[in-house]
Structure 1
Amino acid sequence: MNETINGLKDHRSVREFDSEKEVSEVQVKAIVEAAMAAPNWINGQQVSIIEVRDSDKKATIAKAAGNQRWIEEAPVFLLFCLDFHRAKLAAEKNGASLQVVEDLESVIVGSTDVGIALGTAVVAAESMGFGTVPIGGIRKNPQVLIEMLNLPEYVFPVSGLVVGNPRAIPEQKPRLPLQATFHKEQYNAEVQKELIDEYDETVSSYMAERTQGEDASNWSRKVARFYDTGIDSYKKHTSSTLKQQGFLKRD
């Protein structure tokens, strides 16, 4: 395989950074340029990225995201927002209404564009030797970021990305067997339970080794617990804040 594919397959999320080593503005610009060159819906470019280096702001974001210290430790935090503010200006300029924001389609489009841009930024940053970790926890308290970073109507923070020089690189987490996630011609539901059982054993062994036996939890248990009660802090704010920002207001 080529170097790009090998790099993609070797991805790890980094949560320990060398605070003494910087990420230059030139390097950040290159990462953002790569992200913005990625595919997007109708060339509407429904993404905005906000670079945060100020230590006080990073501390506030870290707390809002659930006390994720690596946000403070790394030199750069990039906030990825779904953005229909420019589409609103385009609509006003051309005497049209922005009906899309009344429908769930706007959230799907914006989140998809953010995901593509975020993934591209990760690849770009890692190609330069940096470590990264996406931060979905910012949606626990999105209003904090909206107010602190002056996000206008029709802009919503979807995910953050920490970028810095790794102080330590963790072992790569095992992924589900490809048979579970890659289907040919039609979805294969019959194999899922068996493959999840196998994967649970793999993850349990991985966790036990990584934590010196302190945690042998498996994949299905963690996912089940998170989507049962762990999602509460997200549910509490996401829908209401989206509506506050102008989305999904149609009765």
Structure 2
Amino acid sequence: MNQVIETLKNHRSYRKYSPKSVSADILETIVEAAQASPSWINGQQVSVIVVQDKSRKDRLAELCGNQKHINEAPVFLIFCADFYRAKLASEMEDTQLEALNDIDALLVGATDVGLAMANAITAAESLELGTVPIGGIRRNSLEVVDFLQLPKYVIPISGLCLGYPTEDPGIKPRLPKESIIHKEIYNQDQLPFLQAYNETFKTYLKDRGDTEANWTDRVAKFYSQSYYPSNADMLKKQGFPAKDLLK
């Protein structure tokens, strides 16, 4: 197994960090790795906001739902889908930014962010740092937009804690490969895989002194309600009318 694949397969999310700072050279390397990711039409629809100031991290931790690992991590990155440069290009070339009226623009931006963040995570882990993605950056997205002074056509998609971990949480077991690999057509017979995975996941939790219920119970409870409903207002404010979405 080569080193890249080994790094990818050993991924885990870290939520406890030492106060040791991340050097400017290492941080630049990680962001360069993110920038090297592929993007739709080479539009490079991603920007990364680097936050290291303690008071600003504290405020972002509050906006993300009081997640203390944001306070602890020496660096907090916010990955944004960014069509501001596309807007400037449109003005330079005297055209309209009509594509943002289509919901596909949101898929493009979120996909490009995901690709960039995956590169950043792998690069960081190869340099012995730990990370954890923070979807809570969308919890109070209107306030985040103002706090980061994001221009129109830029939306926060995910945060990423970055630092030197102080403990190893272990690798969470994944679903059986047969559940996620579909040959030629989608295999809808997923119940046997989920039932088997529930037992695996319960053992994982028990070994860590966690009495929480199984995986399907956790997922079902999470998706039993709507999360971050203010994002529709944030998208509209940032210039994404997404007519199909807002009908």
Q: Give the Å deviation of 1:24.
A: 1.0
Q: Which residue of 2 aligns with 1:81?
A: 80
User: Are 1:35 and 1:118, in contact at CA under 8 Å, matched by a contact in 2?
Assistant: yes
Q: SS of 2:109's equivalent?
A: helix
Equivalenced residue count is 244
Q: SS of 2:223's equivalent?
A: helix
Matched, 1:248 2:241: yes
User: Are 2:103 and 2:242, in contact at CA under 8 Å, matched by a contact in 1?
Assistant: no
User: Are 1:82 and 1:114, in contact at CA under 8 Å, matched by a contact in 2?
Assistant: yes
Q: Matches of 1:147 and 1:239 in 2, distance apart?
A: 16
Q: Which residue of 2 aligns with 1:2?
A: 2
Q: Matches of 1:237 and 1:127 in 2, distance apart?
A: 36
Matched, 1:199 2:197: yes
Q: Which residue of 1 aligns with 2:151?
A: 152
Q: Matches of 2:223 and 2:213 in 1, distance apart?
A: 16
TM-score between both structures, scaled by the size of structure 2: 0.96
AA matched with 1:169: D
Matches within 5 A, 1:1-251: 1-19=1-19, 21-190=20-189, 192-210=190-208, 212=209, 214-229=210-225, 231-232=226-227, 234=228, 236-248=229-241, 250=243
Structure 1 gap segments, 5+ residues each: none
AA matched with 1:224: A
Which runs of structure 1 show a deviation greater than 3 angstroms over 4 or more consecutive aligned residues?
none
Q: Give the Å deviation of 1:249.
A: 5.2
AA matched with 1:248: P
Q: Matches of 1:10 and 1:73 in 2, distance apart?
A: 23
Q: SS of 2:156's equivalent?
A: strand
AA matched with 1:8: L
AA matched with 1:128: L
Q: Matches of 1:30 and 1:140 in 2, distance apart?
A: 29
Q: Give the Å deviation of 1:197.
A: 0.6
Q: SS of 1:228's equivalent?
A: coil
Structure 2 gap segments, 5+ residues each: none
Q: Give the Å deviation of 1:209.
A: 1.4
Q: Give the Å deviation of 1:113.
A: 0.1
AA matched with 1:9: K
Q: Give the Å deviation of 1:216.
A: 3.8
Between the aligned residues of both structures, percent identity stands at: 48
Q: Matches of 1:247 and 1:187 in 2, distance apart?
A: 32
Q: Matches of 2:149 and 2:201 in 1, distance apart?
A: 41
AA matched with 1:158: I
User: What's the Cα RMSD here?
Assistant: 1.1
Q: SS of 2:28's equivalent?
A: helix
Q: Matches of 1:67 and 1:200 in 2, distance apart?
A: 29
Q: Give the Å deviation of 1:199.
A: 0.5
User: Are 1:203 and 1:217, in contact at CA under 8 Å, matched by a contact in 2?
Assistant: no
Q: Give the Å deviation of 1:17.
A: 0.3
